[in-house]
Structure 1
């Protein structure tokens, strides 16, 4: 059944509703003598209405509730038309409707609970894991970079000389090395300190190759500032494990650890200790190990910043931790709340119990084949007592892990919103189900509602924003989605003319194009006055014509960028065998789409022509159309001419106008008045009042508008390639566009 048949039948039916039965049937037969299908369909509607009147004859007009939902109106209409001719006892009807609603709710609940809700949660979860993967990549890159740095330092002649000098002193003095010549150690400490300061390090140390004793260090200097209190100290268990790797030839990264885990006898020095991370590498001379070099970095200013820079929200937190549950990096949440003091002082505990996530980590690492990552989505209190969900990843080679936690309420926000939407939809379905059951579905009321609804489908017109020779353009809004759209409505007096053919063709062609620089068409149809309309995306922006009027002058980079985007749109049309034939500044929109400034959209495909269509297939719309200032001259002689170089001519004409403010027609007229029949001398004329236009761009424009078609670029790809070479020297970035839009408020 076509929409046209239904519209005609309901229109005819509305005239007979108040007539006696015999007169109504006679009227229908008289009006449909030449249309058997329309007569049968209209009679079915009328007889069904009569039967419904008999079944619900005791219901008065005032008792009939009005159904206001557009979706329900459409659903009710279709079902009424198809089912009204069947006679159901009212009780059976109600039971059938109730059973249908219950079944629908069960199916809807199952789909929601098992599919949609789980997918929403899964999408949020994937973001957590993807974030941890990204952080792992950042951490590995940083470690690799710092390892290269410490390796370079170990090969520096000054460092090698210091290591050899210390080794000589140690071999000479043995255990008396650290007390034999304080002045010498102080002098060596200062030399090493200069290297440390030059490299912007927290400190450097050189450790004996044969025993884990610190020969010299620039960290934790004594009160006189001459000799470090670490000098002469034996490495503790944590540092010793890494020391064993280094003397075997490895370069290692040592995450932040407590000072008592680094050296044995300085457990009481924690009050002056700044959390550090270390990089250690062997010092080799002639491939022989002579010492171990370590460089120290502030954990808060280097290691912690790797994770802090990734987040800037109080609802999220990311930090490193070790197997003992000690937080190794300062965290965004702590700093934002002002509760953070020093690294290595926070433990993953709440109310003296390990957090649920730390327990999860322990369980996994104790498995024979640990997964080394996981998550908790049920919600748990973190070490600050906030209810969060979290994900973690363990780096077994570093013996540390990374935790990403997010406020539980924010994590489930989309799910909660969907829950509310789902419950509201269930309530609405129940309410409307009751309304349907209790309503006397009189077709005259439905017909009035449907007619009103179908005026512009699901779109509500808001305001008129433009008018042309063929139609009017309105800003509209989708009634359900509340999404702004543009609605183009053909003038009623043009119905039945070739303008309607052009209008329909514009819809079909534009809908077939998918390029992001081509305006999108969403819908089309007729209103109740049989006016054709179509719905397209609403563009927040300004036409190139108005932009040039407001700016007076446009930069080379921006102009080339605009032409490139238009060319990309045209390339898709040309690849599909279509010509635009009406390219002009008024049909090029410079938009701001969701903050993406200078988004270019090509409009108005009403004069589009299929290159593959024969002349016999053309209609009146192939007569000369377009804008003379940008129209290729050959079209004046042959309206049926279909060559991509007509669009290229228009691109060149737009480019000339963009940078000179003059139309090619205007320039040609001047030459004709001077008695010339060629435009070649234009190249020698000073038509550009500005001197920043590159010569190759000017040549491209004049080649494109050449009267000799063979001299123009052969296709739009050639035009694009020529523009790209200019764009490389005159780039136009997203930041440039944003600044321009900030500068000119009128664009909005």
Structure 2
């Protein structure tokens, strides 16, 4: 890499990282899909839950579609009904304006009003004249009052003084506040109709009593002289609880729909359809013929009063409803999402503000009535959800009970220490896929390692992997590959297979316990690994997980230092989250430490040369006691495998290493597979070129195993020592130099080691 520019190296590194991440993502996604499919196939109780979820999603979609359609239709309906009610009300108001204007323009009426304005009421003769003129004016106006159900009238001059009226008590009054509010508009030449307001004079009630404060409204028009100047105003009194309220009562839709009017202060100026209910709620007085007009402020109580809620503030202190606030701002709008009305009941509505008459109009319907079909649909779906949920729970409970019974049966079979023809003695290991027991064949009495598939993870996927491991390993006959004896399944559903029992030590544990090995012994071990891999590669099999923990060193048939390659069925890691483990702070051990660059970048493209990369990494570890690369995390480690050139093992070894072995190992660790040895046999031939290949003799190995099996810590000879004598001298020299030596009483690691996934 030193021959390339930094920019080129950074670009290559980034592409390598991206390729590695894409491979991991694709592999993880594929694995997740497979696991999900197998899980759903095995766990029947999941289907009702899936059905509930699917039904819920469909229900939400259907409900949303229906709700959107209902809201659109409801919005259109409310808008159309509001516009219709508004046009009806405006038409009636214009008729009242027209009547007042026509009467104010009548020649006789105008003449009488002119005379009233010119006559001085302070003189006695004029007082009599005024009385006569008023009587004549009343006669003229009476025809209109009786034909259009007007309740009275008054005439005011430009000084806001009442100069004539059907109510004698009004005559002579000046600057009446309730009248001044609209008289100014009349004097500006504009006819109008006032919103309802409390009467100033006494009027008869439905009980025949005379009271002030009765709801009234006036249709008023300017009176003009011959020069078309406004000299006075004619106002015709209207009872709003007759035609005005009846027009709005036409908007009572269904059980809860109503149309009502309100003024700028948020006061109801028409009758509510809920007057009886309002009396019970205490919102209007409990009196005979009590009505809500001019007695009820359209305020939001903050909760539904019809269900018992009561506000903790006076009505006047409560905020206006959402509808009134928007309307008095001059807006015409519609709301189908729901808001509280003056009872606190959720309603939908449409409203408008009529600025000419300073009045607002609203059409409202309870949400419960508007969305009743939707509520029924929701209840139906929730009922189905509940039934399916209960079914899922029942099936789940049944599945759990059956699984517990099955696990108990499996555990009982294991506790009985009898699997078919195999008798179990003791547990010697466990892993992610299962547990390993030492046992023997009931008939042959041969020591056997029996591997059991963990009942907790039994599914089609795990059984298939279990069977594949057996079938692949059974094809191999090399003496350095672990031998499989049998495979089966007990009546209780426990999967197992039997293999040769290995009493030895794996290379990972050996280096951790005794330190790096001598070159000559490493050569012998690597040569045996190549022998096993050559057969596997010839059959088209790639181990993909060569590492010290998968290589067992044994004494077999009286022959010491026999290597056995384990786990040929492990095509990829059993658990991606456990591919590596932390042994010390910021250091990693496990499969990634021996993974080739192509296994990181393109896992599907690995071949036999990837295994040879791992063999080179194992040899590096055996010689130096450290992996090829050390990193703080998995990503950094993979980047090093992809981009960094490894340091020569001689830089970390306490002994000298021959050029031939170092060259062989570094050729295995080339980034490009084409630059590595192409077969395991090619690598074996490179190992044979080392001048130290024959230095580790049968006697050396036999002596080492003799001490190991007697519980004495074996000494490690240097690469230049080829005999027991030299080994003893080196041991003595090592003790003299260090001032201490290994005690003969130090126990060796357990010899009962076998394959553990």
TM-score normalised per structure 2: 0.38
TM-score normalised per structure 1: 0.39
By relative contact order (CA 8 Å, sep 6+), the higher-ranking structure is 2
**Computing the radius of gyration over CA atoms, which structure comes out larger, 1 or 2?**
2
